[in-house]
Amino acid sequence: MSLPSASPERPADPIAHVVFYAPCIPGNSGAAIRLAALTGAMLHLVEPLGFDMDEAKLRRAGLDYHDLAHVAVQPDLDAALDAARTHAPSSRVLAFTGSGDVTLDDVDLALGDVLLFGPEPTGLPEEVLADPRVDARVRIPMRPGLRSLNLANAATIAVYELWRRHGYVGGV
């Protein structure tokens, strides 16, 4: 699938950069494509991907929003962070993990921040969490004894919380 570049429907300066590190489930990335289109976020899918970008489940989850979303497939985390910082040089990298030091409601969320999420079965690997560019390990509260939220749901919660805190800039 060929992904379009910025257009009047997709702001040149995304409200946030959502980074899916080595995503495995096409439906989650498809839902994130729809999230990017609806909010003005940019989605970075970091290889290796556990699916083909032409996969039917990816297209079905994204419905007809693919052409309205700002999405880039990046060869590695360095490329994704470099691309995000092209738009927002002072953006922070917030790594979402069940073992986060701070909860979502306690972290300051700025326009242009990088919201980093790991692959569905395992979450972010320790080498990514230990990367010096990671400014905070953030967790989304949930009931004890449960493993994790669905990847697309977690990204949606984080993006909408950031957007809400900034008055839904650009939204209606």
5 labelled binding-site residue? no
Helix, strand or coil for residue 71?
Answer: strand
Helix, strand or coil for residue 158?
Answer: helix
62 labelled binding-site residue? no
Structure tokens at 26: 């096409």
Which helix (H) or strand (E) segment is 137 a member of?
A: strand 134-139
User: What is the rounded CA–CA span in Å between residue 97 and residue 148?
Assistant: 9
Cα dihedral sign for 89, 95, 100, 102?
positive
User: What is the rounded CA–CA span in Å between residue 81 and residue 19?
Assistant: 9
118 labelled binding-site residue? yes
User: What is the rounded CA–CA span in Å between residue 140 and residue 61?
Assistant: 23
What beta strand segments (E) does the chain contain? 17-21, 42-46, 70-74, 93-96, 102-103, 114-117, 134-139
- List all residues 6 or more positions away from 126 whose beta carbon is below 8 Å from its beta carbon: none
Summarize the annotated binding site for S-adenosyl-L-methionine as residue ranges. 118, 140, 148
Binding site, annotated residues: 118, 140, 148
